[in-house]
Structure 1
Amino acid sequence: MKKEIYVFTRALLTVVLMALVAAKGYAAPPTIIVGPTDAHFQAQGDGGKVLFTWQTSTPGSFNFIVQQSSDGGATFTTIATIPFTGAEDYFHPVSGLTDGVTYVWQVKVESDPVGLFESTYNQTTAYTYVQFTGSVTVGELNKNQNSVTLNVVDNVNGEDNFMVEYMAPNGPWVSGPVFTIPGSEIPRQVTGLMANTSYRFRVVAIKGGNKIYSNEIVIKTNRDFPPKPDSFTVIQTCAEKVTVQAVYSNPSLADQFTVSVNGQIVDSGFMSAVITSTVSVSPGQTANIVIATFNETGLINSDPLTVNVPPYTMNPPSGLTGSEETKTENTINISWLPGTSPCSDGFIDAVEIQLDFLFQDGTTGSRLDVTYGNATNYLIENLKPKTWVGIRVIQRNYTYGTSAQSQQIWIRTLGPPDAPTGLAVATSADPLGEIQNLISFTDIADDETGFIVDYRMNEGDWSYLTSMVANSSMFYHKPLQEGNTYSYRIKGVNQYGDGPYSEVVIVTVEYTKEPKSPYNLQGTIASGSVNLSWLDDSQRESGFIVERSTDGSTWTEIGTTGRNVTKFTDSDVTSGNTYWYRVKATNDVGTSDPSETAEVEYVEVSGLVNVFPNPTVDAINLRMAGERSTITLIDQDNRTVLSRSVKLVDGEASLDLSNLKPGAYQMVILTDGKTKVSRKIYKY
C-alpha cells in the first residue's frame, strides 16, 4: 500500500514539474533517483555461465538496463532490458563468456521519457572467467542438537577446494571452513548450530573466482535433551499401587515417557503436559519411582521418588445392624455396608461372621460363619432360643489380607422368658389367724404370658402350686402346715416354652400353738394285731401319740407316728382280751386333748377269712364262716370309699371293685357282727 502511494505521488509531482518547465520555457535538468543495489554475480563456471543478481526498493513503472564490460570496466554494452515487476530481487543469466577474460556487470533504472529522472549504475566487482565443469551434490548423513553431518559428492573437474555454506532462518549465508575432497565424496560436519532449528545448507566448489553451487537442502537440528519435570509428586499411596504425577511446562521437547519402579519399566506413553501414572508396588516395601522422557537426542531421568509403601489394610465393614422384626428363636438376619480400601479394586473374597454367645443359663460360646465375598446380609441360623449373640463382621481378600473387625452388636433370639429375680418370702397370719406365706419377685421379662409356681415341703419332691398371669409380682400360699420348711421357685412361660426357674427361696413355718385333737378313731382286728386309723384335724402337729388301756381308765403310750401319719398297728395283743385306744396330736408347743376312745375285743381270726385274688383288677372274693358279712374299704387318705353287706353262699362271696381307682385299700370285715378283721388289698 505504501509503494502504491509513493508511485502515485511521484507521477503527480512529475506532471506538475513538467507543466512548470513548459510554462516558463526552462530547460529541465535530470533528477537522480535511487537505483538498484547489491549487484553481484554467481559464477557458474560450467559452460561459461554467470548469474547476475540485484535488488531494488524503487517503486514505479520502468525497466532495468543491464550492461556488461569485457575490458575490465572501460566500456559497457547493454545486454538486456529487464522490466520492473514489483519484486525486490532480480536476476539475469549471462552466458557465452570467454575463458581468461575479465568481466564487469552493472545495472540501473531506465531514464524517464522526458529525461527528468535517472539512476546511477550499481556495478559488480571485476570477474575473470576461468572455465571449469561438473556438479556437486549434498545430502544429510546424520545430525544431533548442535551439529549436522553432510555427505558431499564431488563431480566437479578442476576445482581448487570446497566450502559449506549454511543459513539460519531470517539470517545471511554463513561460510564454513574450506576443505578438499580426496575422493569422490566426503562427510562434512557443521557444528555450533542451535538446537531444534531449521538450516539451509549448500556446498560451493571453488576455482579461482568461479564457483559451482550444489543443491540446497533444509535440515532441522535435533531438539536438545528433554528437561526434567517441573514437579514430580506422589498423589496417592496404596498398599498395592502408587499414583504419581509429573508436570512439564514444555512437553513438546519430548516424544514419549517411561515410568520405572526399582529399575523396572512398568508404564510408558506419549508425552503430555501432565502425566499421571498408577504403578503396581509391593505392600510394605520401599519403591523408588523414576519418570524418564526421551526424544531423538536422548533421555533424561527425573530425580527418584522414594515411597514407603504401607502394608495392605482393608477398611472394616460399617453399619452392621440386625433385624428385630424378623428374628426368631433360632435365626437372626444381619446386614452391613462393605468396607473396601479406596486403593483396592473393591473385590472381597469372603466375609467372616464372628459370633459370641451368652446363653440364657449364663454360659458362653462362640462360632465362626463364612459367607460369599460380596455379601451385604446374612441369615445366622441354628441358634439357641433366648441367646444373646454378639456379632462382628470381618472381610477377607486372600491376596491382600483381612480387614479389622466391624463394631460388635448384640441381638437376642426369641425364646422362653427369663427367670424372675429377687424372689422373697414373708410368713404372716391372715385376718382369720391362718398362717400364710407372701411370695414376691421381680419380673424382668417382657415376653411372658404367665408364671408357674412350684413348691416343696422339707426335702420332698417339687410339686405344682399355682399359675399367675403375665406381669404378676406376688402371691399368697395357704393353708400351711406349721413346723415345716417350704421351698419355692418360679418360672415364666410363653409360646416358646417354659423359661428357666428363678433362684429358690426357703422359709420354715414355726409352730404357733398346740395342734387340734384327732378324731374318728377306728380299730380293726387283723391276724395277730389290731389296726388303728383316725382323721387329722390339724395343720400343726409334728406327730401323734398312741395310747392303750386294758381297763378303760389307765392309759399307757404304746407308740408314735409322724406328721400326717394316721395309722398305727398294735401287734402286742392277746386273743380274748379287750383293748381301749386313744390318740393325741403333738408339737413343740404342746399336746392336744385325746381323741375319742376305740374299744376292740381281740379274737384271733387267722385262717377264718380268705381274700383272693390279691392284687386284683376288678373284683375280689371272700371265703369265711357264716352267712353274711359287712365289708368296708378305706383308701390311703383314710376315707371310706365302699361299705356293703354281702351274703355268703357256701361260705363265699364276690365284691365288684371295677369303679374304684387303682391303689392300696384297707378292707375291714365284720365277721360275726362285732369282730372286725382287717386285710390290705391292692387294685390295678
Structure 2
Amino acid sequence: MRKNYFLSLFLLMTAFWHVQASDGSKSTNPNGNSANTTMFVAPVAPTGLAGTPVGGNSTRIALTWNDNSLDESEFQIAYTTLPTGYSFETTSVTNNSAIGGITLTGLQPNTLYYIWVRALKNGVETPPTCTPQANMPTDGPPPGKSASCWSNLVMVSTNQALPAAVTGATVATPYSQRTNTLYFFDNSNNETEFVIERTTGGNYTQIAVIPGVAGTGQRMYVDNTTQPNTSYSYRVTSRNSAGIALPESKTDFFLTLPDPPLAPSNPSLTQDGLGLNFIRFFWINNASNATGFLIQQSVDNNTWVTVGSIPSGDPSFKAENLIEGQRYFFRVIAFNTGGNSAPSGLLVATTLKRVAPNPAFNLAAKTISTTQIDLTWNLGTQDGVTNNRVSQEIYRSSLSATDGFIRIATIGDYEASYSDKTGTPKTKYWYKILTANFQGQSPYSNVATATTLGPPFAPSNLTAVLANDALGNTVIKTTWKDNSDDEWGFTLERSTDSTFATGVLKADLDSNSVAATSIPIEEGLIYYFRVNASNKYGSSKYSATTKLDVVVSAAPNAPYDLKGTATASEVALKWGDDSNKEAAFDVERSADGITFTKLASTGRNEVSYVDKTVAEKTKYFYRVRATNVKGNSDYTNVLQVTTPAKVSASIDLVAEDVFQVYPNPTADAVKVSVSENMLKESGMIIITDKSNRVISKTLLTSNQSEYRLDLSNYSEGTYTISLRTATQQITKRVYKF
C-alpha cells in the first residue's frame, strides 16, 4: 500500500504541472497559449459484493457486485482461506451491465473464503487513493493495467461436500425366503443417511432409509420383507445436505429360496432288498417342489450319517458297503434350495451273514520319496469254496499302530503290492490290509510302518550357560541334541525377547553340530535361544526355547567424548559407550559447572539426549555417567554450551491480563481469555505441539472473549498456544497430562 500511495502522489504532481496555471493574467505556458490537459484516472471501485455457495455443489461460490465504472475492461477477483495468500481470477466486462458477476470453481468443500473484487482498465493511469482494510490484498494491478480500489470484503463458506458413492453392494449368501441381508461399502465420512431401494425387475422402489455411520467401512441392512422363490435386486445410495452421491451401487439379481418340501413317507424294502453288504429300498414322495432326497443311515437309531443324495425323479436307494449280519436303520429327507423336510418314518433291516477269507501276511513298507511308500505282502490261502477273496482294502494311520486307521484304497483279489503316493513329507505311517469276499472279511494283516522323506526332526534338549573361551573372555555356550540323521545343517537363533522379534542374531552351523559359542554378550540382559535343523526338503520345527540371565558383575565403564549442539530452545547431546554392563545413562546439568542435577536417564546403549527445557542466551554445563545395579561409572568430560537467542519477527508482547490460558496443567481442555482490545483486531488462536506442528486454529470473533480448546484427543506433553493478530503475538505453554 505504501508503494501505491507514493506512485499516486507522483502522478498527481506530474499531472498538476501539465495543467494550465492561471492567476487571471499569468500563465506557465511559454507560448502564451492555454494548455488544456485531460486527466486519466483508474476505474471506480465495485460495491455491493455478495456471494453465495452454489446449491448441490461443494466447490463453487457465485459472486455479484455493482459495476460503478464505464471504462473498465475486466474485473479481478481475489480470494483466500486465510492465513494463506490470495489467489486471483479475472472476468471480462460484457455490455457495460450495472451488475457484475462470476462463479468461482475448484474450491475446497465446507471452507470459509475471504473474497474481494476490483475493476481493471487497460493502460497505466493515476492510481486511486484507497483506504486500507483488514485482510485486504496488497497486490498491485497486472502489468499494463490500472486498478480501482478493492470492493467490500465478503466471507462465504462453500457447501458441505457430497458424500462418496456407495460401492460393492451385494447380498449375503445363502439366500433366505423372507429375510436377506444387504452388504455395501461406505466410502464417505460425511453422509447423513443411506437410501435402500428394491426391484423385482421393473422400477426400483424405496424400502428403507438408514442413518449414516461415522467412518468408512462395510455396512449392512436386513430386509425382512422378501418373499420365497422371488427374484430381487437392491440399489443403494448415500446422501447428505449437499445431495445424493452417484452412481448408485446395485446388486445382481438374486432368487430367494423356496419353502422346504414335505417329508417322504413309507420307506420299504424292494423284492431283492437284502444282500451280504447292501440293502435296497424305496419310499413315497409327497412334495412337488423337492429337488432331491438325502438318505441317512444308523446302526443304533441315535447317531445318523448321510450316505446318499439322489434326484427326486427315482425315490429308491441301494445302501452299499454294509457289514454282514448288521442291523441298520434308514430314513429319507426331501430337500430343495429352501431347506430340508422332516425325516420320513424308519426302515429297519439286517444284512445277510457271510464267511471271511484268510488274511494277508508278511506286509512290508518301503520309503520311496517325500510322498510315496510302497507296500508288498503275501496273499492268504484259499480253499476255492468258502474263503475265496473278492477284494482287498488298504488301511493307513498317521497316529499309531493301533489307532487312527482309515481306508485309502480298495484293490483286486490277486494283487500283492500297492504304492501309496498320498503321504506328506517326514511323516511316519502304519499300514494294514483287510481281505473280503461275499461271505465276510478276514482279520487284518500284520502292521507295517515306514516314514516319508522330508525335513529333519527338530533338535531337543537345548541349553545355554556362561563359559570362558581360550582367551578368558566370557561367552555363552549352547548345546543341544541332534534327533535326525539327514540334516544338512542347523540354525541357532539368539534374541533379547521370548518372541524373537528384537535383537535377533543367527548362526548357520554344519550338520551333526551339537554345540556353539554365542557372542557378544551384555550383562544385565536375558538372552533367549532356539535351534532348528534343515536339509534339501526344508527346515524342522524349532526346539523348545531356553533362556540365560546374564547377571551384572561390576559397575559399568565410563562413557566418553561428550559433545553437543545448541539452539535457542534445545541442546542435543551425544557421547561414546565403552561398556557392556550399563543399564542406563544419567544425564546431569549445571548452571555454574559445579552443582549438577540429574536431568534424565536414557536406556541401555542409547548414547544421545535432547534437552528441551533450556532458555535462550543461557550457559549450561552437562556431564554423563553410566549406571547399573552394581553402581555408577565415572563421569564424562564436562560440556559447556550456551544457547543462542531466538530468531523471531518483531512482534509486540502485551501484558499478562490481555491473554490468559487456564487451567494449566490440564487433563482435557483449556480456556483462553482475550481482552476486548485484542478483539478489535482480526487474528486467531493457534496450538502447536512439541514438534512445532500446528494441530488447531481458531479465528477470533469480535463478540467472543473466551474460547474453549479441546486437548482430550492429544497425547501427554507440552503444547504452545499463541494468540496472533496483525500487530501482536502472545505465546503460552500448557502441559497436557
The answer to whether TM tops 0.5 is no
More strand by share: 1
TM-score bucket of the superposed structures, by smaller chain: 0.3 to 0.5
* Structure index of larger Rg: 1
The alignment's TM-score, normalised by the length of structure 2, stands at: 0.38
The alignment's TM-score, normalised by the length of structure 1, stands at: 0.41
